[in-house]
Amino acid sequence: MATELLTTGRRITKRPSGLNRKKTSDWVVLAVAIVLGFFIAVPFLMILVNSFKSPEDYATSGPLSLPTEFYTDGLTAFWERVNFPEKLWNSIYISGLVAVFAVVISMFNAFALGIGRVKGRSWIVVLILLANMLPQEVLLYPLYFMFKQVGLYDNQWAVIIIFTVIQSAFGTYLLASVYGTFPKGLLEAASLDGASRWRILWTVVFPISRPTLSVLLIFFFIWTWNEFLIPLTFLISNATQTVPVAITVLQGDRLMDVTTTSASALLGLIPTLIFFLIFQRTLTRGITAGAVK
């Protein structure tokens, strides 16, 4: 299983077409899969449709009809109200740094646990996973006092540090088990060539596990982007807020009519959607994949 298990699979499309005869049952399965996809997508279609409706249009024809005119005031109103480019940059900055830091920390941890096999590694994994197990409310009071002490309250670095720890817990858990099955021959060969462990990490382990690391990077970015409670608590001033926080803060506002709300949801969604579409190929390459061709 050694290399087979780790080989990145071939593309689905490159298949011998010998068995390509489609039976009726195949069409039924496809139909079921498409209908399911449609139901999953309904809420997204609703956001899209209602973002371009005027409030009057919405009031007369309800949430399900198509807009009668192309109305973009809701979008521009929200864009200007929250200074959207600023919020967008905040979110990209925080999520991007967290994703990179968390992947590096996960890799270091997993290198020691999966390849180095330090003593008591099961317990270290459990200890690290604590970051994932703790309900986040637990962190609010203590971290509030601690960050206030060091002057990082209402500073984006507070949020970046917190989520680097939380995300790298998942990364360590996953990566340590992936590195546990790392092709040993490669490590031995590099070691015979006289490479130090630091060099082996960067010249052998890092490039070979890059598919898995990219999957983690994408997950971390999206997960951090979508976080709410901790950014809401630690980023109180307008200029530091993230996109989801800005949207939520405006919810109770009486100037936010239904279609502006929908427009805000659309704007909140588009960046992660674009990010996902760009990188969705990477996801196919596999979470435990990464190896010798």
Judged by CB under 8 A, the residue of 134, 236, 239, 292 near another protein is: 134
From residue 91 to residue 130, what is the string marking binding to another protein with x (rule CB under 8 A)?
--------------xx-xx-xxx-xxxxx--x-xxxxxxx
> Exposed, middle or buried: residue 197 (CB in 10 Å: 0-12, 13-18, 19+)?
middle
- Among 12, 49, 20, 22, CA closest to 263: 49
Question: Measured from the CB atom, is 83 or 181 closer to another protein?
Answer: 181
Minimal distance, residue 148 CB to another protein, in Å: 14
Which 258-287 residues touch another protein, going by CB under 8 A? 258, 261-262, 265, 268-269, 272-273, 275-277, 280, 283-287
SS3 281: helix
For CA atoms 204, 205, 208, 214, give the dihedral sign. negative
For CA atoms 138, 142, 146, 151, give the dihedral sign. positive
Minimal distance, residue 154 CB to another protein, in Å: 17
Binding flag, residue 18, another protein (CB under 8 A) = yes
Binding flag, residue 40, another protein (CB under 8 A) = yes
Q: How many residues make contact with another protein (CB under 8 A)?
A: 124
- Determine the Cα–Cα distance for residues 135 and 137; give it in Å rounded to an integer: 6
Question: Measured from the CB atom, is 71 or 111 closer to another protein?
Answer: 111
Judged by CB under 8 A, the residue of 5, 239, 278, 292 near another protein is: 5
Minimal distance, residue 219 CB to another protein, in Å: 9
- What's the chain's length in residues? 293
Binding flag, residue 159, another protein (CB under 8 A) = no
DSSP secondary structure letters along 41-74: HHHHHHHHHHHTS-HHHHHHHTTTSPPSS---HH
- Determine the Cα–Cα distance for residues 247 and 222; give it in Å rounded to an integer: 17
The two tokens of residue 106 are 């996960």
Binding flag, residue 155, another protein (CB under 8 A) = no
Q: Contact region for another protein (CB under 8 A) — 67-75, 82-90, 92-100, 170-178? A: 170-178
Judged by CB under 8 A, the residue of 180, 203, 236, 278 near another protein is: 180
CB atoms near residue 148 (< 10 Å): 12
Binding flag, residue 255, another protein (CB under 8 A) = no
Question: Measured from the CB atom, is 83 or 121 closer to another protein?
Answer: 121
Could you tell me where the DSSP H helices lie in the chain? 2-6, 24-51, 55-61, 73-81, 84-110, 121-133, 137-149, 156-179, 184-192, 197-200, 206-208, 210-226, 229-234, 243-249, 258-284
Which 194-223 residues touch another protein, going by CB under 8 A? 197, 200-201, 215, 222
The two tokens of residue 7 are 């080989």
Which 47-66 residues touch another protein, going by CB under 8 A? 47, 62-64
Q: Contact region for another protein (CB under 8 A) — 66-74, 78-86, 92-100, 178-186? A: 178-186
Minimal distance, residue 52 CB to another protein, in Å: 15
The two tokens of residue 30 are 């496809």
Binding flag, residue 133, another protein (CB under 8 A) = yes
- Determine the Cα–Cα distance for residues 115 and 29; give it in Å rounded to an integer: 43
From residue 67 to residue 86, what is the string marking binding to another protein with x (rule CB under 8 A)?
--------------------
